[in-house]
Amino acid sequence: MRTLIIGAGAVGSTLGGYLARGGRDVTIADGWPRHVEAVRARGLRVEAVEGDFEVELPAIHLDELAGFGPADLIVVASKSYDTRMMALLAREHLHDGTVVMSAQNGMNDALLASVVGHDRVIACVVALGADLVVPGVVRRSSETSVTPAVFGPLWPGADAGAAARIRDHFLPLGAVKAVNDAWPERWGKLTLNSMSNALAGLAGHRSDTLWTEPLSLDVIVALGHETAMVAEAEGIAAAPVLGRISHATLLEATATSTPAWQEALDQMRRIGDARRGRKSNRASLLQDIEKKRRTEIHYLNGWIAGRGAELGVATGTHLRIVEELRSVEAGERPPALVNVEKLAAEVREWYA
């Protein structure tokens, strides 16, 4: 299966590294020249919980894609705001049976499908922690035994067997799986991202401390509750967050005094405690803040707030975190836990 990964940042390079180590035919393409040249010169180094490794794989600049030819599988792994551009690039490398996937944060599958066709698009819900450390080096913070990716159709007309074939193709990544309907998984990932990605950028914390910090925990649960309410309005029961916090629990977390709220808090603490002293995850939005890059906030919490407004679902915490992050993204204040204080106080008042 000739595979092209367009967007070789943290996730794209990690996927490419494991596929290459497993003997798969994979090429990564990216717009950061230093990273592409580093992989060409020294190969890709992957720092991982199960042990570090180095692998050689083809790496090309985006302006070299014209000579690549058709691919059997195209994975778009860019930032959400570049989806349309990457979809147009992908369209030039299709043949009759090409499958295209979004391995991104956010809900970009429909935009991708509008360019390449709904019948080609299979969901790729990535659940591994990844960090692009320096050019040519990525870090995977989650174990291979924890499901790193789920593949499945989103719309009628997609190739029924494509998800299973892609699952087998990605077995070098770990315990990947295929499903018949990927919407619950897609919403499950969006729920997790909405609960902690922007908050990590605001607070400057990695997952282990963010998920155990009393100041941030109530905000995390409020964000999860509001996302679950939007998913419910869409008719979707999202997959459990981190495999532990169910959609039903988040729906029932209507106040800080409810058992469901406490259950969600306790689960986040347990997961955070388990990550201490290991390769804890640095959320992608925090990486963007630290690298002074544009964030994906409007494709995560901003998207949920917008969809909630369309469906008549209140998403006050999402609206406020978008507002709070604006000054941090602009460089007017650094990411720090003090940035969460006002938002946390508001959440406790709203959900009292």
pLDDT tens across 221-247, in order?
999 999 999 999 999 999 999 889 999
Q: What is the mean pLDDT of the chain?
A: 94
Count CB-CB contacts under 10 A for residue 214. Answer: 9
Give the β-pairing of 137-140 and 44-48.
parallel
Among 137-146, 179-188, 333-342, whose mean pLDDT is lowest?
137-146
CB contact set of 314 (below 8 Å; sequence gap of 6+):
226, 229, 308
Q: Which of the four pLDDT bands, split at 50, 70 and 90, describes residue 277?
A: low
Q: Which of the four pLDDT bands, split at 50, 70 and 90, describes residue 45?
A: very high
Q: Which of the four pLDDT bands, split at 50, 70 and 90, describes residue 158?
A: confident
Count Cα atoms within 13 angstroms, Cβ side, for 30: 27
Q: Provide DSSP, 138-175.
A: EEE-S-TTS--EEEEE-STTS-TTHHHHHHHHTGGGSS
State the pLDDT at residue 52: 95
Q: Residues, the chain, total? A: 352
At 170, the amino acid letter reads: F
Q: Which of the four pLDDT bands, split at 50, 70 and 90, describes residue 207?
A: confident
Q: Which residue has the tokens 């789920």?
A: 150
Task: Return d(Cα 58, Cα 341) in angstroms, integer.
Answer: 47
At 296, the amino acid letter reads: E
State the pLDDT at residue 278: 62
Tokens of 119: 């019948």
DSSP conformation class of 120: G
pLDDT above 60 (res 318)? yes
Q: In what order do the strands lie in the sheet with 130-134?
A: 53-55, 44-48, 137-140, 130-134
Burial class from Cβ neighbours inside 10 Å (0-12, 13-18, 19+) for residue 281 reads buried
pLDDT above 90 (res 295)? yes
Mean pLDDT of 297-318: 97
Task: Return d(Cα 201, Cα 71) in angstroms, integer.
Answer: 36
Tokens of 106: 């956010």
Per-residue pLDDT tens digits for 172-193:
999 999 999 999 999 999 999 9
Q: Which of the four pLDDT bands, split at 50, 70 and 90, describes residue 279?
A: low
Mean pLDDT of 36-61: 96
Asked if 219 and 340 touch (Cβ cutoff 8 Å), the reply is yes
Q: Report the percentage of the chain scoring pLDDT > 90.
A: 87
State the pLDDT at residue 316: 97
pLDDT above 90 (res 143)? no
Mean pLDDT of 108-137: 95
Q: Which of the four pLDDT bands, split at 50, 70 and 90, describes residue 196?
A: very high
Task: Return d(Cα 106, Cα 197) in angstroms, integer.
Answer: 11
Q: Residue 209, SS3? A: helix
Please tell me the pTM assigned to this model.
Answer: 0.93
Per-residue pLDDT tens digits for 63-79:
999 999 999 999 999 99
pLDDT above 80 (res 144)? no
Asked if 95 and 26 touch (Cβ cutoff 8 Å), the reply is no
Tokens of 141: 């913070």
